[in-house]
Amino acid sequence: MSRRTTPRWFAAAASLLLVAVLPGAATAAPGVPPPLPFVSQLDLSCYRTEGYKPPPTTVTLKHLNPVLAELPPEKVELGAREQLCVPVAKNGAIPPPGILDYVRWVDLSCYRIEGRAADFPLTLSQLNPVVRKLGIQDAPVTMLSPEQLCVPVAKNGELPPPEILSFVRHIDLECYALRVLGIPGRPFPLTLGHLNPVLADRPKTDVKVGNARQLCVPVTKGGDEVTREVLDTVQWLDLAKYDVTTGPSVIGPVTLKLTHLNPVLAHLPGEQVVLTEPTQLGLPVAKNGKLPPSD
Please tell me the total count of domains within the chain. 1
Q: How many CB atoms lie within 10 A of CB 62?
A: 17
Residue 18, in any domain of the structure = no
**Domain hosting residue 205, numbered range:** 30-287
Residue 11, in any domain of the structure = no
Residue 247, in any domain of the structure = yes
In our burial notation (b when 16+ CB lie closer than 10 A, e otherwise), range 120-149 reads bebebbbbbebbeeeebeebebbbbebbbb
- pLDDT of 52 strictly over 60: yes
Stronger pLDDT, 223 or 4, i.e. the higher one: 223
Q: Which amino acid is at 94?
A: I
Residue 239, in any domain of the structure = yes
**259 within 8 A of 270, measured Cβ to Cβ:** yes
The predicted-structure confidence for 62-121, as pLDDT tens digits, reads as follows 999 999 988 999 999 999 999 999 999 999 999 998 999 999 999 999 999 999 999 999
Residue 261, in any domain of the structure = yes
- pLDDT of 145 strictly over 50: yes
Q: How many CB atoms lie within 10 A of CB 2?
A: 7
Q: What is the mean pLDDT of the chain?
A: 87
| pLDDT > 90: percent of the chain | 76
Provide the whole-model pTM. Answer: 0.87
